[in-house]
Amino acid sequence: PGDAILAPRAAPTPTMASFTLAASAAKFAGAKLDSRRAPAPRAQGRRAVTVSAGPKRVMIAGAPASGKGTQCELIVEKYGLVHISAGDLLRAAVKEGTPAGLEAKEYMDRGDLVPDSCVVTMVVDALDTPAAKEKGWLLDGYPRSASQADAIAEQGIEPDSFLLLDVPDEKLVERVVGRRLDPETGKIYHVKYFPPESDEVAARLTQRADDTEEKARVRLEQFHSNMKAVESCYAGNIVKFDGTTKKEQVFDNLKK
Ligand code: AP5
């Protein structure tokens, strides 16, 4: 009520950005609170939104540094979905030194995709928590290949919506090398676009090991060689967004 996403509203105009969170919620109004369900029929296309309710299941994809994590911060703040980032799960596993983490590390250090055997179970387990089932989820950076899409589809895990951030390659390298992270809050900064608010925050910012130009180019190559196959898996649920505008503008388009 009072919220453009939750309140009834007119059918969206058929633009690229006319998705989405609201449509997905309406589609699953009354659905069981379970992240595993029968695969959704493909090619549903966009639909008129009436009333929304029920947990949403959203995937967000895009090239390295296209702004997935940044948009996830805003989406989680507004919609309360559980954010599941494949990259964050892997980095946590590397830090903990789990067997999957140890195996993943060498691939991540090169900028390559880690093998499915490292990442699929991690993601499926994260989707299978009470919080994700109850609040809905926002899956960031997974799937990155057709085999990963198939692996979760086999478990009946399908998104209501698949958001794809579109940013040309030449902008991405600048974003990658300028990215900084706050280890205390998890917030994402950029030396030029989102500098930290205070010297205290600036002093504790860190940089990811794979945020070099060289590794960014490998990650980009991986993205381009796999993404078409992923897109074809979710053809009916994909909505593309221009990710080159300011982050608030991207978010405004996304929630329309
Ligand atoms: P992951 O952590 O997922 O990295 P990624 O896909 O390369 O994406 P990033 O986290 O780099 O970028 P982002 O799109 O979240 O951008 P952000 O919002 O931070 O994966 C890392 C590695 O793990 C992979 O290389 C792979 O090895 C492995 N991996 C992960 N998932 C896997 C899977 N499913 N299968 C196999 N391997 C897997 O923004 C970037 C910067 O831009 C920030 O500084 C931000 O402030 C700035 N920015 C954001 N939005 C804007 C804007 N609108 N305007 C200007 N600047 C902006």
Over residues 121-155, the pLDDT tens digits come to 999 999 999 999 999 999 999 999 999 999 999 99
Q: Per the residue annotation, which of 68, 105, 175, 215 is the catalytic one?
A: 68
What are the pocket residues of ligand 1 if the criterion is a CB atom closer than 6 Å to any ligand atom? 62, 64-70, 86-87, 90, 107-108, 111-114, 119, 141-142, 144, 148, 175, 178-179, 188-190, 193-194, 210, 219, 243, 246-247, 250
Residue, of 109 and 46, whose pLDDT is higher: 109
Cα 4 to averaged position of ligand 1 atoms, centre (Å): 28
Contacts of 137 (CB under 8 A, 6+ apart): 35, 55, 56, 57, 58, 81, 82, 83, 84, 127
Say what the pLDDT of residue 37 is: 42
The confidence band for 53, taking pLDDT boundaries of 50, 70 and 90, is: low
Cα 69 to averaged position of ligand 1 atoms, centre (Å): 6
Annotation marks residue 256 as catalytic: no
Bond prior to 143 in cis (omega within 30° of 0): yes
Its pTM stands at 0.84
pLDDT above 60 for 199: yes
Say what the pLDDT of residue 255 is: 84
Using CA atoms, how far apart are residues 52 and 13, in angstroms rounded to an integer? 18
Say what the pLDDT of residue 256 is: 78
In the numeric block, which tokens belong to residue 113? 């995709």
Length of the chain: 256
Q: Output the CA torsion sign for 221, 147, 46, 82.
A: negative
Q: Outline where the chain has alpha helix (H).
A: 21-27, 68-79, 86-96, 99-110, 116-127, 130-135, 146-153, 169-178, 199-204, 213-233, 247-255
Q: Cβ(12)–Cβ(18) under 8 Å?
A: yes
The vertex-136 CA angle with 117 and 188, nearest 5°, equals 75
